[in-house]
Amino acid sequence: MPLVLGNAQTQNPIMKNAASALRNPPGNLGRRRPSNEKVLSWIEQTAELCEPDQIFWCDGSDEENAFLVEQAVADGVLLKLNQEKLPGCYYHRSNPNDVARVEQCTFICTPTEDEAGPTNNWAPPAEMYAKLHGMLEGSMRGRTMFVVPYLMGPKGSPLSKVGIEITDSIYVVLNMRIMTRMGRIAYEHLADSDDFNRGTHSMLDLNPERRFICHFPQDNTIISVGSGYGGNVLLGKKCLALRIGSYLGRTQHWLAEHMLLLCVESPKGEKTYVAAAFPSACGKTNFAMLIPPPAFEGWKVTTIGDDIAWMKPGPDGRLYAINPETGYFGVAPGTNRKTNPNAMDTISRNTIYTNVALKHDGTVWWEGHDDAPPAECLDWRGNKWTPDSKEPAAHPNSRFTAPMRNNPALAEEADDPRGVPISAIIFGGRRATTMPLVAQAFNWSHGVFLGATMGSEMTAAAVGGAGQVRRDPMAMLPFCGYNMSMYFRHWLSMRKRIKHPPLIFKVNWFRKGADGKFLWPGYGENMRVLKWIVDRCSGHVAAEETSVGWSPLFEQFDTRGLDGFTREQFDELQKIDRSEWMRELLLQDELFFKLYEFLPKELVFQRELLMSRL
Ligand code: OXD
Ligand code: MN
């Protein structure tokens, strides 16, 4: 189906974000209210405040989705892509001032400032509620208010949680349907309980001055205004699953983590489940969908989740994890058949693309795509783009929203209400120097120290200086819903609750040599590191003690088929450079100073031990 480009989107590069009042939905669509009185009265109050033209009660049905997609296209919120080449795929452009998470506008509104801690923006709840209610007053006049019930986690899982998001963005509804178990299933899970997250989102006028992403963990409440960008407005994801989730996890003795979940299956059919934390845009989705290199015949990696893990000790004393989501909200640039073939298959249908480039044949493109740059296309702003243009065609943080069921490597366990027992936890970061390819922690508290001192070079997923190194403990710096020092304490205390704790590892795929080139090929070759980790979990390989942890022996590190890879290269990857580490210790100090007031002594002692070993 050829795409007509002479339409409103080309003339007006900023696509609309809000649906106008809906045309009359057929049958019962949009009218199926739940029976839960607490839900009804909260919706009523919010509607009184926001004054929408109408309320649309989402049920998650296919019929509803078809109706809303059609409406979104008619309103210019979505553009239908070439349905022969990209069946079920749509295109969206956000406002150019609204393309990433906004950490400076993200608040944790706990009763005291200490509860939020020095790494979060804090505001007193009453003050922030008053301010936000002022902004929400009449904010949905002329708009539709969608009520989006959703379940985070598999049906019937004791770890799953219900959220309800009120939003005036049809784009949010369509994305939430991909990212969560959205619809009646959430009301069924909730029954007549009051235990649900209350999330309110209104785009207002997308003015960055009036953009606030606020969390009230003690009320299990989120209010997000002034943005339409995924990470700020798909409230199940960063807001509920991580910020509110981490707060709840502390009181309920579980962990809400910024971690992918995968299963490694050996040729003998033995399965090992691994959780891994990396800061945003460090290749988490690629790692979660890794395809082992040819030399690893018979080995298989399957995906349980690519971004978030909820983990709780099970009755057998192991740590069990679920992925609360059902889709991938992944970074498009750099995704291709070489870096992530499974993702390319996943996003070939039923996907919403945001802020990528639009080609004249109604397909999409981004920097790092398999296809050569188009001779001409529309960039993410809707302007004409050619390979001579100075700016990238796709925004560096452009995204795909795709259902996990499309993933050819989806693990059969992804929907298991019991979750999967985790054998290894990996902490990673993007570091050009200092950090070895892989090291295993000596024990749980050393592992917590490795996670707590993670640092990474910044990327485009958040507004801010891309390229700078920042401390990002457990990759949770922007996502921890309470005081980071208390979060470390919680991690340390979990050891007593987990009889058979996972082993903890630290990895770095991004170390560079003196020539500025990456020392490690990464991508599918990361399977070699994964295999060593699996072998450590099963006790099949030995390791060498170094000052920063257990290191692989070259002889036991599988390099079959890695042409020309030498012991010298391996040594360079694993090198512990004393002067680099002294600098690293000083940098770590900055974070420890900031967090000093409640910092657990174990971490201070771990630091001292490291220093003396060095
Ligand atoms: C994400 C992020 O979008 O971490 O997953 O920023
Ligand atoms: Mn993430």
**Which ranges constitute the DSSP H helices of 75-190?**
113-116, 125-136, 170-179, 184-190
Nearest C-alpha neighbor of 455 from the set 468, 439, 442, 437: 468
Return the ligand number nearest the Cα of 276. 2
Q: Report the 3 state secondary structure along 331-365.
A: ECCCCCCCCCHHHHHHCCCCCEEECCEEECCCCEE
Q: What number is the average pLDDT over the span 486-513?
A: 97
pLDDT score of 2 more than 60: no
Residue 328 near residue 389 (C-beta atoms within 8 A): no
Q: What percent of the chain has pLDDT over 70?
A: 95
Q: What is the mean pLDDT of the chain?
A: 93
Q: Which residue has the higher pLDDT, 5 or 176?
A: 176
Choice from 102, 234, 280 to test ligand 1 binding pocket (greatest atom count within 8 A of CB)? 280
Choice from 282, 307, 459, 463 to test ligand 1 binding pocket (greatest atom count within 8 A of CB)? 307
Q: How many whole angstroms separate alpha carbon 494 and alpha carbon 473?
A: 17
Model confidence over 413-459: pLDDT tens digits?
999 999 999 999 999 999 999 999 999 999 999 999 999 999 887 65
Model confidence over 250-274: pLDDT tens digits?
999 999 999 999 999 999 999 999 9
Q: What number is the average pLDDT over the span 95-110?
A: 92
Q: How many whole angstroms separate alpha carbon 340 and alpha carbon 343?
A: 5
Return the ligand number nearest the Cα of 280. 1
- Residue 469 to residues 103, 140, 279, 454, 587: CA-CA distances in angstroms? 16, 41, 11, 10, 10
Rounded to 10 deg, the angle between the 170-179 and 62-74 helix axes is: 140
Domain boundaries, the chain: 37-58+98-252, 257-327+411-613
pLDDT at residue number 459? 56
Q: What number is the average pLDDT over the span 189-216?
A: 96
> What is the side-by-side order of every strand in the sheet holding 90-92?
79-80, 90-92, 352-354, 399-403, 327-331
Binning pLDDT at 50, 70 and 90, where does residue 167 land?
A: very high
* Residue 237 CA, closest ligand 1 atom number: 5
DSSP-derived pairing of the beta strands 259-265 and 271-277: antiparallel
pLDDT at residue number 468? 66
Tokens 């992925």 map to which residue? Answer: 323
CA pseudo-torsion sign 77, 82, 83, 87? negative
Return the ligand number nearest the Cα of 463. 1
Model confidence over 328-338: pLDDT tens digits?
999 999 999 99
Enzyme catalytic residues: 282
Distance 230 CA to ligand 1 centre (A): 9
| Encoded amino acid at 613, one letter | R
* Residue 284 CA, closest ligand 1 atom number: 5
Distance 520 CA to ligand 1 centre (A): 24
CA pseudo-torsion sign 189, 191, 195, 200? positive
Q: What percent of the chain has pLDDT over 90?
A: 88
Tokens 């891309």 map to which residue? Answer: 466
Return the ligand number nearest the Cα of 461. 1
* Residue 307 CA, closest ligand 1 atom number: 5
In sequence order, which residues have a C-beta less than 8 Å from that of residue 241 and are 6 or more positions away? 152, 256, 308, 310, 324, 325
- Closest C-alpha residue for ligand 1 atom 3: 231
Nearest C-alpha neighbor of 340 from the set 301, 378, 374, 397: 301
pLDDT at residue number 595? 95
Model confidence over 23-56: pLDDT tens digits?
788 889 999 999 999 999 999 999 999 999 999 9
Residue 292 near residue 267 (C-beta atoms within 8 A): no
Return the ligand number nearest the Cα of 330. 1
pLDDT at residue number 23? 76
Distance 365 CA to ligand 1 centre (A): 21
Domain 37-58+98-252: CATH architecture, name and number where available: 3-Layer(aba) Sandwich (3.40)
* Residue 100 CA, closest ligand 1 atom number: 6
Distance 231 CA to ligand 1 centre (A): 7
Binning pLDDT at 50, 70 and 90, where does residue 590 land?
A: confident
Q: Which residue has the higher pLDDT, 464 or 526?
A: 526
- Closest C-alpha residue for ligand 1 atom 4: 280
Tokens 């902490």 map to which residue? Answer: 427
* Residue 331 CA, closest ligand 1 atom number: 3
- Tell me how far apart the terminal alpha carbons of the chain are, to the nearest angstrom: 64
Query: How many CB atoms are located within 10 Å of the residue 245 CB?
Result: 27
Distance 461 CA to ligand 1 centre (A): 6
Model confidence over 557-567: pLDDT tens digits?
999 999 889 99
Q: What is the pTM of this model?
A: 0.95
Binning pLDDT at 50, 70 and 90, where does residue 10 land?
A: very low
Q: How many whole angstroms separate alpha carbon 324 and alpha carbon 415?
A: 9
Dihedral through CA 183, CA 184, CA 185, CA 186, nearest 10? 70
pLDDT at residue number 587? 86
- Closest C-alpha residue for ligand 1 atom 1: 280
Model confidence over 294-324: pLDDT tens digits?
999 999 999 999 999 999 999 999 999 999 9
Nearest C-alpha neighbor of 508 from the set 557, 437, 441: 437
pLDDT at residue number 519? 96
Distance 211 CA to ligand 2 centre (A): 20
Q: Tell me if residue 107 falls in helix, strand or coil.
A: strand
Q: Which residue has the higher pLDDT, 583 or 21?
A: 583
Model confidence over 348-363: pLDDT tens digits?
999 999 999 999 999 9
Nearest C-alpha neighbor of 57 from the set 179, 172, 138, 144: 144
* Residue 231 CA, closest ligand 1 atom number: 3
Residue 190 near residue 204 (C-beta atoms within 8 A): no
Distance 51 CA to ligand 2 centre (A): 33
Strand segments (E) across 211-288: 212-216, 221-225, 255-257, 259-265, 271-277
Residues with CB under 6 A from ligand 1: 101, 231, 280, 307, 329, 461
DSSP 8-class letter at 293 = -
CA pseudo-torsion sign 116, 118, 124, 128? negative
Residue 436 near residue 511 (C-beta atoms within 8 A): yes
Q: How many whole angstroms separate alpha carbon 144 and alpha carbon 121?
A: 31
pLDDT score of 179 more than 50: yes
Distance 578 CA to ligand 2 centre (A): 32
Q: Tell me if residue 11 falls in helix, strand or coil.
A: helix
* Residue 399 CA, closest ligand 1 atom number: 3
Residue 453 near residue 591 (C-beta atoms within 8 A): yes
Class of domain 257-327+411-613: alpha beta
Give Dmax (Cα) for the chain: 72
Distance 474 CA to ligand 1 centre (A): 14
Rg of the chain on CA atoms, in Å:
24
Q: Which residue has the higher pLDDT, 498 or 103?
A: 498
Residues in a beta bridge with 105: none
Residue 280 near residue 463 (C-beta atoms within 8 A): no
Rounded to 10 deg, the angle between the 484-497 and 444-452 helix axes is: 160
Binning pLDDT at 50, 70 and 90, where does residue 19 land?
A: low
Choice from 179, 213, 235, 329 to test ligand 1 binding pocket (greatest atom count within 8 A of CB)? 329
Model confidence over 130-153: pLDDT tens digits?
999 999 999 999 999 999 999 999
Q: Which residue has the higher pLDDT, 553 or 459?
A: 553
pLDDT score of 9 more than 50: no
Dihedral through CA 507, CA 510, CA 514, CA 516, nearest 10? 180
Q: How many whole angstroms separate alpha carbon 300 and alpha carbon 266?
A: 7
Choice from 179, 238, 430 to test ligand 1 binding pocket (greatest atom count within 8 A of CB)? 238
